[in-house]
Structure 1
């Protein structure tokens, strides 16, 4: 039987993990634990003999993306109770991308540890993970993979689009476009203030195919989110129905012993990579999928993102790769319709969250889908051919870099230009809009020292177009860095250059005026400097001091893997299937 397959006759658990706490043969321990539950108002008569479902909530008053879970959690609890389980709500740290500086990526790993250790150490039989914002979704999947107890995710949903000067505007992609217009003098200060009030019109994730929407889609494709639930808007009543259904289903999954390793198989990650290309998803997914898979001892070499997605076209016409927003996507049939269309490219034997196969779950058209739509294309008439991530290698990125082909201006697919180098983010901010900056539209903007070790890999890679070029009408240039960019961003932006500059990668020795060549079709990024000259420059290069001297960010800098390995902490990733096995606690006196 293939890994992940479910036998025809499902075997049900007789004894739940939580019974080690509450029904222990050690009468003193059972007394202590049941008494502690009574103190919280949990009568043992109501939960003994039932699966305890831990509902991990990650909302806080800074996190507008996850805030709907403050209400949705009650519907999850109702679903758990209706299915015969017992819900316990727990809170974790949150990762509000708008506010966490300089980068929220390190806290993805910390959140995954929060979840893993909370599950490991407490009487939990199954898990519901309430996600939405960029790093919450992958962090939860990483923690769930490490624990390998039955788990499901529920998204908060995307926020509504806004309206500005009579046009729909979406937080994320439109923000970057209007920022360029403002710098170019095309928006007045009064209009800029009006945009601030109108662009973010509700709670939930960005209403475009940014990182939040991408990772929700990845979760559903991996079988970790109920079919059809990843693209429901935050303000749609069907989001509450999805919450109740998620609570109900997790109880069934506990009884069926359906764990994350049964869903998130190597074949399932292949499906996710193909879906990533079809939806024009975020470059950040390459880091997150690699990190999630790594927790299960599944390795995804960076080249696989290009190789597996070869021949997969762009099917989704959403910003930033296309025109529309998540609301139109949902009305057009959402992710279920995309997966249905993509089935010829997928391994249909992988499992959906229903316990049925992907082919069984997504194989049928639905009557509520419109007959034709401009938002979701067909394989016969796709929006673009071969639209997945391009993986670039060369003497500038020996371990690889990525670029999102679907968001690149066609005239920059092959480009040669001279480098305009910024040594770090502060240097870039101080000079990018200077009239004295020696730059033209053929230049290649290079930003160093924003990788995982240097700065926690913030979303600084989408280097702003210099103001004087914006005024000339330039809206895209080749930009290169060892950082990330927002999934809502666009342009000819080369990201995740590895090894990063802070550890002595070739990016560290690029100088102003060096010629750099990008060839996306050939999958190369080249520094036109001789090997001898590169060696000489590296010989006199000195490693910059670590920015953080203590605390978690020092731990991250000391232990973070590079981008092609998912930027997980090295000690969290197992080196064998044996190391990936969940280690239960010794249940004794606390």
Structure 2
């Protein structure tokens, strides 16, 4: 180990403070646990209310074995767990709160190295954000997807199947009793969503960033090889403490660009955008929406996985997983350092895909240009995002009338109204659902289509909003419009009947209304009532817009591991 272990500030010597620190921690620990060997904290997001992470206690035990084996002392620390499907108003509302707790608890305790256990959508970014701010040697273990689901002889993906089947019910094509029976067929095992939703995307992002051991992303939760990797992570974190290998050496601009390219190649979630931008703000790297557009623009779509494809994550792993994808785009990746101590490009095996129907080659991709597209125009002067791989190709260039909804409650109140003035060529517009307006920027951007349109056999329309959408969702959906309407953005000027133009190839989203008419209009903010106290008060006062990662302004930058005042 280089220098004296940080934890020795608590444990070394014969002072009264050292005496009480050791005495309180003994509880079965041997005397040599305090002799300077690395104290490794395992930040565990296990919770019964986060079913995706319900197997993390077992993973933590295998990490501990690896830490003990390599001469460290493992210490498990429960940290906030954000269950994506259950939390209200939305899990994103709590991402930075969880990150703050992770950061402060790591800094405040006698810790030399950190292992992060994340899986469900927001647990991965919140852990990365918090640990990056402290900048102690850190690596992550992601918990893996659940096994494949199946319904009536076809793959049923977690999340994506929900959107598909619920629309069939609303269209009158499927009885509600079948929807109920599909629930248990969709969720067969422990693990996060088995589509390339946000959880799988962020696992791929974590590995592309260099924050996990190679082979972690996509390794199914019930697979015993995940426990083997967890043991290896316990070995490796002790070595990292000795090498003083910190997130600041890993989370570089080059690593962020690699993550963007991987998101494109796997057809990943648009939610990666706000998390990568927030992470860049946290570690002080020059990285913006334009970098996301440029880095991903010419990357081919290789993973034929729902929602952009047909297969599920168990198939993805069987076909070679992220390693097979990285091998196909290796010449476009940066040789950024990883927690293994080697550059990302050096740890790619070179093995081809074992199933070309699941992971294609760069020569014969699903699509040649799969990157997330960043749009500009008078509707989104600070940017908006669309996922072309999940959109209807014919709608990527479109002009239609606006049908405007002021908040998600207004949408729910009117969308099923048979008298709603809406046609398949129209553009559904939802506002008041950005970071500040909702608050928390919920995943409601993929608005369900009106029943009258569904009954006509239409399954997609252009939809635009200042909200996000689930990574498991699909459709021609423009998201993250910045600034949001609640922050005075031009989305608040749109009226039903206005003409909107979308041209993804030209990266344009514009409202076709004369400037003098827009200047005369009063904006509609559609924001929730202001909070006078509590977390919501802090959040709404300090949350930044989507183009800056939708994080809290005072959390930008790192604060290190030093604690100025001692405990007495």
Provide the rounded CA distance (Å) in 2 between the counterparts of 1:105 and 1:36. 37
The answer (yes or no) to whether the contact 1:310–1:386 under 8 Å persists in 2 is: yes
Question: What is residue 53 of structure 1 aligned with on the other side?
Answer: 40
Retained in 2: the 8 A contact 1:21–1:587?
Answer: no
The answer as to whether partners of 2:261 and 2:295 remain within 8 angstroms in 1 is yes
2:441 is matched with 457
Deviation at 1:14? 3.3
Q: How does 1:309-348 map to 2 (within 5 A)?
A: 309-347=296-334
Which string of whole-angstrom CA distances, capped at 9 and with x for unpartnered residues, describes residues 72-104 of structure 1? 110010000011100000001110011011211
C-alpha distance in structure 2 between counterparts of 1:264 and 1:191, whole Å: 46
- Please report how far the alpha carbon of residue 372 of structure 1 lies from its aligned counterpart in structure 2 after TM superposition: 4.7
Q: How far does residue 207 in structure 1 lie from its aligned partner after superposition?
A: 0.3
Residues 1:527 and 2:511 aligned together: yes
Aligned residues of 1:454 and 1:547 also touching (Cα < 8 A): no
Q: Partner of 2:185 in structure 1? A: 198
1:76-91 aligned within 5 A: 76-91=63-78
- Does the CA-based 8 Å contact 2:486-2:525 persist in structure 1? no
CA distance in 1, matches of 2:401, 2:223: 50
Residue 35 of structure 1: aligned partner = 23
**1:583 Cα deviation after fit:** 4.8
**Structure 1 residue 581 displacement after superposition:** 4.6
Distance of 1:301 and 1:232 partners within structure 2: 30
Match of 1:476 in 2: 460
Structure-2 residue corresponding to 1:572 = 555
2:339 to 346, 349, 353: 353
Query: What is the CA-CA distance between 1:381 and the residue it aligns to?
Result: 1.2
Choose the corresponding residue for 2:402, options 405, 416, 419.
419
1:21 Cα offset (Å):
0.3
- 1:16 lines up with 2:1 in the alignment: no
Matches of 2:143 and 2:532 in 1, distance apart?
36
Q: Secondary structure at the match of 2:231?
A: helix
Q: Aligned residue for 2:93? A: 106
Which runs of no fewer than 5 residues in structure 2 stay unpaired? Answer: none
Are 1:268 and 2:266 matched, yes or no?
Answer: no
Q: Normalised by the size of structure 1, how large is the TM-score?
A: 0.94
Aligned residues: 567
What residue is the counterpart of 1:485 in the other structure?
469
For residues 431 and 531 of structure 1, the distance between their equivalents in structure 2, rounded to whole angstroms, comes to 30
> How much does 1:542 deviate?
6.5
Distance in 2 (alpha carbons) for counterparts of 1:157 and 1:340: 21
Q: Aligned to 1:526, what secondary structure does the other structure show?
A: strand
Give CA deviations for 1:381-432 in whole Å, capped at 9, x if unaligned: 1110111111011000010100001011011010000011101110100111
The match for 2:380 is 397
Aligned partner of 2:51 in structure 1 is 64
Q: Residue 420 of structure 2 is aligned with which of 437, 441, 446?
A: 437
Is structure 2 residue 217 aligned with structure 1 residue 217?
no
Root mean square deviation, CA, Å: 1.4
Q: CA deviation at 1:189?
A: 2.2
Cα distance change, pair 180–223 in 1 and its aligned pair in 2 (3 A): same
Deviations 1:233-278, CA, capped at 9 Å, x for gaps: 0111101101101111100001000000111111111111111111
